[in-house]
Amino acid sequence: MNATPSGGLRPSFAMALTIGACGGAVFTWIGMPLSWMLGAMTTAGLASILHLPVKGWARARPPMSAVIGVMLGSQFSPHTLESAALWWPALIGLAGYLVVSAVLCTLYLRRMVRLDPVTAFFSAMPGGLIDMVLLGTERGGDERTIALMHSSRIFLVVLGLPPLMTLVTGADPGARAAAWRPLANMGLADVAFFLGAIALGTALGRLARLPAPFLIGPMMVSMALHWSGTTGFTVPSAVIAVAQIVLGTTVGCRFAGTSTRRILHILLTSAGSTVILLGVALIFALALQYVIDVPVEGILLAFAPGGLAEMSLIALALNLEVSFVVVSHISRIGMVILGAGLVSRWRLAR
């Protein structure tokens, strides 16, 4: 935990956040897609590699997750349930994608990288960073390697998705950005509902012990408020930009405290598995676009194992089908946790 004894913010994270915000501003100025997230992630990651005094802060992510949860809930509408009934082929395809990509990545990490079987298996799983680290350590894997492999996977997936989308569809991600929503559009009643959804959702998420309680709890409360017609607020773009900066910075800072040589080795190793994961996801997305009424870039984003919060923010930034992406990623995380636990227990019992 990178907090001061009084619970305040350490200078190391303040510096990281400043560097991340500057990176986001530069990326925005030059017209990069997903500029605030990618800029913050890239510059914070470089600062970590260069061993500048930057570190993440464990307390920064939960409130940003709650903000994102409320944003995601506001994107659901009554017609979402009607659409969801037609998404079942994608969920079956998602299960197939997870099996194929996990097998290929495990073989790659075992045969080419020469990791031990347990570390390779849990490093290859396409999702569930914290859960895979805990399960892998419990089964005797290398905790540090598993954590770094998943952190670098998220980093590389978020960084590589926009150019991959452009390559596949020919579309410019920057041109698909959602319209700017000014702070002035949010009245006092909207602010009250926004903050209330965060507070109530966080409490309910923790009480019900939901997976990712800080994100899913507020999302469910916000969804209920919007579905019922109680409120129709939209989250201002400035708030979304702040969430992107904080999340991008925390992802980039996951390499802090690791030697430059180790970071570069892990990034190079993870690049191979990331190519496998995105390549298989692309194949499934190209096939499923003819089965469900979702564009190929939306399916690719829904299958890409880059983290629920990060992928949801990309969906918001690119004005894609947010509800489909959220449902797919929640399903992916559940399938990975359940499947990895069962398979690893079976393998160890042999």
SS3 140: coil
Return d(Cα 235, Cα 165) in angstroms, integer: 26
pLDDT of residue 94: 94
Q: How far apart are CA 268 and CA 261, in angstroms?
A: 11
Residue at token pair 């708030």 = 239
Max intra-chain CA distance, the chain: 62
How high is the pLDDT of residue 81?
A: 67
pTM: 0.79
Q: φ and ψ at 221, to 5 degrees?
A: -65, -45
Residue 167: the pLDDT is 80
Q: How many residues does the chain have?
A: 350
285 touches 303 (CB < 8 A): yes
> Which CA distances in Å does 264 have to 24, 84, 85?
23, 41, 44
CA distance 292 to 289: 6
At 25 the pLDDT is 95
* Cα separation values, 265 from 103, 142, 252, 259, 275, Å: 22, 15, 16, 10, 16
Q: At what angle do helices 237-252 and 308-317 cross, to 10 degrees?
A: 140
Tokens of 36: 């605030």
What pLDDT does residue 1 have?
Answer: 37
Q: Write down the pLDDT at residue 249.
A: 93
Q: Can you tell me whether residue 3 is helix, strand or coil?
A: strand
3-state helix, strand, coil in the chain (%, to 5): 75, 0, 25
pLDDT of residue 6: 43
Beta bridge partners of 9: 3
Give the dihedral sign, CA 285/291/295/301: negative
Spell out the per-residue pLDDT of the chain, length 350, in tens. Answer: 344 444 556 789 999 999 999 999 999 898 776 788 889 999 999 999 898 999 988 888 889 889 988 988 887 776 776 777 788 899 999 999 999 999 999 999 999 999 999 999 999 998 777 778 878 888 888 888 998 898 899 889 988 887 887 787 766 665 555 667 788 888 899 999 999 999 999 999 999 887 678 888 999 999 999 888 888 888 898 998 898 899 889 988 988 888 888 988 999 999 999 999 999 999 999 999 999 888 888 899 999 988 777 888 778 777 777 888 888 988 888 888 888 878 877 765 55
